[in-house]
Amino acid sequence: MHELGITQNIVAIVSEHAHGSKVKRVLLEIGKLSAIMPDAIRFCFDICSQGTVLEKAKLEILEISGLGKCRQCDAEIPLEQPFGECQCGSKYIDLIAGQELKIKEIEIEEICV
């Protein structure tokens, strides 16, 4: 399960950004073609966040649909897998969305001084 390593990375990056403050919410973008299972990330997040500033933070995951662009006719093609065929018959499709794994937003608890 490679999601565990990915989640550990996410927790490490977010912790660094938080500078010791409590994290309230994390928004991730995960492409549907990235072979990363959002449910597995959620499961790992509960484990990895324990004892860190991310503990009890809300994890939101935005799934990004796959999208390709035909090299021949420039048509955009929705993709369910990281390959496909354009209506024009071309198989030369560049992936333009669906493979991302991004930390989109981090919400940190404000500390009243």
Summarize as ranges the residues that interact with Zn ion (CB under 5 A): 70, 72-73, 75, 86, 88, 90
CB of 92 to Zn ion, least distance (A): 8
> What minimum distance in Å lies between the beta carbon of 73 and Zn ion?
3
CA distance 41 to 21: 22
Min dist CB 85 to Zn ion, Å, is 9
Nearer to Zn ion, 35 or 88 (CB): 88
| Nearest residue (CB) to Zn ion, 8 versus 90 | 90
Tokens 């509960």, located at residue: 46
Smallest distance, Å, CB 81 to Zn ion?
Answer: 17
Taking the least distance from each CB to Zn ion, the nearer of 6 and 70 is 70
Closest to Zn ion by CB, 48 vs 66, is 66
For residue 11, what are the CA distances in angstroms to 27, 36, 40, 90, 97? 12, 16, 14, 41, 24
- Taking each continuous run of H as one helix and of E as one strand, the counts in the chain are 2, 6
Strand ranges in the chain using DSSP code E only, listed in sequence order: 23-31, 58-64, 66-70, 76-79, 93-97, 101-108
